[in-house]
Structures are given as structure tokens and as C-alpha cells.
């Protein structure tokens, strides 16, 4: 994995200790974490607010955290060599992760216009109108976007260039990006935890009658004011993690796509693409890891 600083300088391979690209079904759909050897050049180029780019894919990120620590086993002269721990957010969407100085309140607005009102520079494919969005002063827009996505039964994902809205059911209608004839994954199966973590909801309509969402299973129950049946059902619809797959390095296989295992389709909830240089004496490793799930209706 090769990183390019905002100045256009390519980060030398011996300075990059490790990096991990995360892709998620989240309002900010990509993040980058990296550990870089601290030198005068990297300290100057890797500051909070600067951008950093992955050379091969062209993904651009905005640095939001830099932590300097002496974690290296190597010594230069009499000083232990230091490292910079970098956390960066997908640049076109990063503004919605900051707390708002002013409120953003929208009615019958598209997701794209909501992102724009919160400072993001992004066009959303398959954009969808949202009945009401509210992020008050001091709030974090990404939290409120996550809420309206849940109410609409959808998610946001990116391929690093375009950001797309997709309904959870439609994820599974895509052609699998990867097919495995043999299951080599870690399996997770716990209906017990699902019942605790995926609640059902009810509300009261204009006539004062109760309206309900999905009550097919015994779950925790929550009250949601002024909500119709469609949204109540959407709020119980969720992707449940079922498998963890570790594979060769596949940086173009990201969240929002489908992997087929033994003829069963699984949605990629999170993809992590990791690089470890081995500069401090370990092995050089390059691999991807995928957290896969099925749809709980």
C-alpha cells in the first residue's frame, strides 16, 4: 500500500509501518488508519486537517487525529524511534462527522442535499428523499444520518469514487463480486444476542390507535412517536453478522457488495484491507478481512 501526502510527495515504503483501510455501511463509508515512522518530513506532512491519498486506488482522506508515540523497537543514535498513529476519514464525507455550530433541519430533502447542508462535498447515487432530518447545534450529523438511514431501511456505501444509497434488501439482488465454493470462514450464530440487540417498535396514529412494526419474534420494544407502519418495520430490519472471512489482499472488494459462499449470498458489512511492512522485524503481510451478514427482516 502506497500513500501520497497532500504535498504530492509519495511516502517512502520504509516509513510506513502499517496501514488499514476500512470500508463500512456507514454515513462516512471509509476510514484509514496508519502508523508511520516519525521524521521531520512526516511530522510536517501528516498534520490534523491535511489530506492523504492511497496511490493505487486514488481514495482521498482527511486526517482527524495524529498521535505520536515511541513504540518502535529500533533506536537511532541514543533516541528510540517514534511513530505517528494517523486516523483519517473519507474526504468527500468527512464534514458530517464534526459537531455542528448551527442546526440543520430539512423536510422532504434528499440525502445529497442533507450531506451538502452539513458541509460534505459529495453526490449520492440513487439519492432518496427523507421526510424529516434534524441535527441541532452541537449535534453530530453522521449520527442523525444513521438514524434516517435505519428508518428508510437503507445504507450508504462507496467504491472510493462514488457514494451510493441502497436499500438493505437490494444489496442481495446484486451479482456476487466474489464466489467461494468452500466455506473457510469463522461462523457466528446467536439468536439470543439478536433478540437483545434488534428491537421492535410501535407508535400511535392520528386516530389514537396503536400501530406496530415487526413483532414476529420476542424482542425489546421501543416507542417511536409520529411514525407510520413502513418506518416501524424498517427500524427492525438489519444486517446481522454471520461470518468473518480472511482472504488475500482485495482492496476493490468493499462494503455494500455481495460475497457468495456455498451458493448463499452474504452482504459485506465491513471490509478491512491491511498492510504490515515488517520494518520493525516482523513479517511483511498484506491481506483483507470481511465481516459478512444476512438480512434480518
Strand 16-24 and strand 30-37: the pairing is: antiparallel
Distance CA 147, CA 189 (A): 26
What is each CA distance from 65 to 28, 33, 59, 86, 145, in whole angstroms? 16, 10, 18, 6, 23
Mean pLDDT per 10-residue section of the chain, whose length is 297 residues: 87 88 95 91 90 88 90 55 91 94 93 93 88 93 94 90 91 94 87 75 87 83 86 88 93 94 95 86 86 90
What pLDDT does residue 55 have? 84
- pTM for the complete prediction? 0.88
Q: Are 111 and 154 in contact (CB under 8 A)?
A: no
Residue 146 phi/psi, 5-degree rounding, is: -60, -35
Phi-psi region of 138 (alpha: psi -120 to 50; beta: other; left: phi over 0): left
What pLDDT does residue 126 have? 87
Residue 155 three-state SS: strand
Q: Are 54 and 30 in contact (CB under 8 A)?
A: no
Distance CA 68, CA 79 (A): 14
What pLDDT does residue 169 have? 94
Residue 277 three-state SS: coil
**Residues whose CB falls within 8 Å of the CB of residue 144, separated by 6 or more in sequence, listed in order:** 133, 134, 135
What pLDDT does residue 192 have? 73
What pLDDT does residue 76 have? 54
**CB hemisphere CA count around 57 (13 angstroms):** 22
Amino acid at each position: 500500500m502506497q500513500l501520497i501526502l497532500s504535498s504530492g510527495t509519495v511516502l517512502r515504503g520504509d516509513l510506513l509501518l502499517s496501514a488499514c483501510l476500512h470500508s463500512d455501511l456507514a454515513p462516512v463509508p471509509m476510514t484509514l488508519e496508519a502508523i508511520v515512522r516519525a521524521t521531520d518530513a512526516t511530522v510536517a506532512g501528516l498534520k490534523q486537517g491535511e489530506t492523504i491519498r492511497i496511490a493505487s486506488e486514488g481514495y482521498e482522506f482527511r486526517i482527524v487525529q495524529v498521535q505520536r508515540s515511541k513504540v518502535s523497537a529500533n533506536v537511532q543514535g541514543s533516541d528510540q524511534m517514534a511513530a505517528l498513529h494517523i486516523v483519517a476519514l473519507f474526504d468527500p464525507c468527512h464534514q458530517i462527522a464534526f459537531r455542528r455550530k448551527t442546526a440543520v433541519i430539512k423536510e422532504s430533502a434528499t440525502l445529497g442535499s442533507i450531506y451538502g447542508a452539513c458541509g460534505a462535498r459529495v453526490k449520492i447515487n440513487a439519492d432518496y428523499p427523507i421526510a424529516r432530518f434534524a441535527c441541532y447545534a452541537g449535534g453530530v450529523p453522521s449520527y442523525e444520518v444513521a438514524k434516517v438511514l435505519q428508518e428508510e431501511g437503507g445504507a450508504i456505501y462507496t467504491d472510493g469514487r462514488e457514494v451510493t444509497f441502497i436499500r438493505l434488501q437490494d444489496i442481495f439482488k446484486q451479482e456476487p463480486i466474489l464466489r467461494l465454493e468452500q466455506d473457510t470462514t469463522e461462523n457466528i450464530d446467536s439468536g439470543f444476542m439478536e433478540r437483545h440487540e434488534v428491537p421492535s417498535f410501535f407508535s400511535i396514529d392520528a386516530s389514537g390507535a396503536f400501530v406496530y412494526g415487526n413483532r414476529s419474534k420476542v424482542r425489546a420494544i421501543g416507542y417511536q412517536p409520529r411514525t407510520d407502519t413502513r418506518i416501524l418495520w424498517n427500524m427492525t430490519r438489519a444486517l446481522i453478522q454471520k461470518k468473518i472471512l480472511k482472504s488475500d489482499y482485495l482492496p476493490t472488494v468493499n462494503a455494500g457488495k455481495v460475497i457468495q459462499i456455498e451458493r448463499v449470498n452474504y452482504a459485506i458489512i465491513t471490509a478491512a484491507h491491511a498492510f504490515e511492512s515488517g520494518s520493525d522485524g516482523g513479517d511483511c503481510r498484506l491481506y483483507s478481512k470481511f465481516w459478512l451478514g444476512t438480512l434480518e427482516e
